[in-house]
Amino acid sequence: MNDSNYSPSLVSALKIARGMALQDKHNTFGVSHLVMAMFAENTGLKEILSSMQKDVGYIMEWFDTHREMYRSSGTSTEEVEPDEELSKVLDESERSKIKLGADSIDSICVFTAILREGVVYSHQQIEMLDISENDILSHYNALTPLYSYQGEEMQITASVPYADNLKNQETINAGGFVVGREKEVRTILECLERSENKGILIVGESGIGKSSIINAFVKDICENEDEMLKQISIVGLNTAKLLASTSSETEIAQKVVNLMHKLNQLEQAVLVIDDLQVLLENSASGKASTLVNILSAQISEGAANLVLTLTNDSYRKNIEKHPIEGRLDIIKIEELDTTTLESAIQLHKKRIENYYELRISDALKTQSHSPNDILRSEACHLPPSTCLTEPPLPSDYAIRTHEPVYLI
């Protein structure tokens, strides 16, 4: 069996499937062994099926039952090989790879081949699973753009499970509530218009609003009157899905490179990696130079732009002394001034009041009391049950009342 075209996580799953067969004293292993192994290994299969609203628990139970019923033709040996059915599935996975536009044969390609009628299971058996090959293909195939600002990025996100299309209504709505970050958004737009330094790094403490700036930037692109800007494809790297579907640093780097390769084929594209420190600090060796070198090469040679966000600590540790710093436009985020912060609080306060149909008194700040002190003081005016069950407002909220007020 030639596994050179298999993803690292699928190779690991095949080893686990062999181990299951040895434990069951079989000299071959079948489809059910591999499916259970793909669920056990970090292949991303479980997460993808969950995102499709499928009953993962039932599917696992169905294949586990078939594994218990499995019988091999000989006795257990040191060399445990795939049986005829599984060999056929692995061959069919090449077709799935082409249909899905994948870079290598992974667990999704294999599972799609398993669900192909006649390869292993009949139409009636596949119906029992409540998932079909067409369901997966529909989930991955490019959807028709819903809005005028959506375009070629739909093709990318449909074929790459760890990439998100940021040009969507949810992001635009979130960007509409961002206050006081117009300068940063304008700087990003100006950087994108230049031919050199195709990397932008937003640096700031956790919670200061780096992700909000990304949302405001996406909103500005989608609603811009300049049609050229409007057609820029903006794709976000979903670090949670990426980490869930990889088993090593090498595989993470490989998948990031594959995504960049796809984006480089588009006319205008931006790859957003929010909270880059999550990937940099995931290194088992403690060294993040491999991923940083990949990003540096993309800035120098790639067609797609990069927009990255990073905490101050991670910036000092991984970027500050690396050659990539000279190729990045660095935007350091500071806290909002008091007036702008109060405007942001008032805007958020109106959203809470409208959503929950309640009243919150005006926020106030004093030099002698911090917001947390005021919250603790005013909590005494709340009914005991409310204090126990209702979560507090963000720390920037200060509440003054003469009657009980329910905190959200």
User: 219 in a domain, yes or no?
Assistant: yes
pLDDT, residue 91, reads 92
User: 407 in a domain, yes or no?
Assistant: no
Does position 246 have pLDDT exceeding 50, yes or no?
yes
Q: Are residues 111 and 133 in the same domain?
A: yes
pLDDT, residue 85, reads 93
pLDDT, residue 366, reads 38
Q: Are residues 204 and 319 in the same domain?
A: yes
pLDDT, residue 351, reads 78
Structure-token match 């479980």, residue found: 46
Q: Are residues 328 and 358 in the same domain?
A: no
pLDDT digits (tens, 9 = 90+) for 252-296: 888 999 899 888 888 888 999 999 999 988 765 555 678 899 999
User: 400 in a domain, yes or no?
Assistant: no
Q: Are residues 85 and 175 in the same domain?
A: no
Q: Are residues 203 and 316 in the same domain?
A: yes
pLDDT band at 386 (very low <50, low <70, confident <90, very high): very low
Q: Are residues 238 and 111 in the same domain?
A: no
User: 395 in a domain, yes or no?
Assistant: no
This prediction's pTM:
0.58
Q: Are residues 178 and 322 in the same domain?
A: yes
Does position 177 have pLDDT exceeding 60, yes or no?
yes
Please state the domain count of the chain: 3
Better-scored residue on pLDDT, 304 or 248: 304
Greatest CA span in the chain, whole angstroms? 82
User: 301 in a domain, yes or no?
Assistant: yes
pLDDT digits (tens, 9 = 90+) for 69-128: 998 766 556 678 899 999 999 999 998 888 887 778 999 999 999 999 999 999 999 999
Q: Are residues 172 and 309 in the same domain?
A: yes
pLDDT, residue 400, reads 38
pLDDT, residue 336, reads 84
pLDDT digits (tens, 9 = 90+) for 325-352: 988 999 999 888 888 888 878 877 887 8
pLDDT band at 234 (very low <50, low <70, confident <90, very high): very high
Task: Please give the share of the chain, as a percent, with pLDDT higher than 70.
Answer: 80
Q: Are residues 174 and 273 in the same domain?
A: yes
Range of the domain at 187: 153-332
pLDDT digits (tens, 9 = 90+) for 133-164: 988 887 776 444 445 555 566 667 766 888 88
pLDDT, residue 197, reads 59
Three-state secondary structure of the chain? CCCCCECHHHHHHHHHHHHHHHHCCCCEECHHHHHHHHHHCCCCHHHHHHHCCCCHHHHHHHHHHHHHCCCCCCCCCCCCEECHHHHHHHHHHHHHHHHHCCCCECHHHHHHHHCCCCCCCCHHHHHHHCCCHHHHHHHHCCCCCCCCCCCCHHHHHHHCCCEEECCCHHHHHHHCCCCCCHHHHHHHHHHHHCCCCCEEEEECCCCCCHHHHHHHHHHHHHCCCCHHHHCCEEEEECHHHHHHCCCCHHHHHHHHHHHHHHHHCCCCEEEEECCCHHHHCCCCCCCCHHHHHHHHHHHHHCCCEEEEEECHHHHHHHHCCCHHHHHEEEEECCCCCHHHHHHHHHHHHHHHHHHHCCCCCCCCCCCCCCHHHHHHHHHHHCCHHHHHHCCCCCCCCCCCCCCCCCCC
Does position 372 have pLDDT exceeding 80, yes or no?
no
Cα–Cα dist 289/127, whole Å: 48
Better-scored residue on pLDDT, 289 or 205: 205
Which of 148, 277, 169 is closest to 218 using CA atoms? 169
User: Which of 87, 107, 140 marks a domain boundary?
Assistant: 140
User: 94 in a domain, yes or no?
Assistant: yes
User: Which of 82, 110, 140 marks a domain boundary?
Assistant: 140
List the CATH number of the domain containing 120.
1.10.1780.10
Structure-token match 């040009």, residue found: 167
Q: Are residues 314 and 169 in the same domain?
A: yes
User: Which of 293, 314, 332 marks a domain boundary?
Assistant: 332
Better-scored residue on pLDDT, 65 or 285: 65
User: 45 in a domain, yes or no?
Assistant: yes
List the CATH number of the domain containing 231.
3.40.50.300
Q: Are residues 18 and 34 in the same domain?
A: yes
Q: Are residues 264 and 282 in the same domain?
A: yes
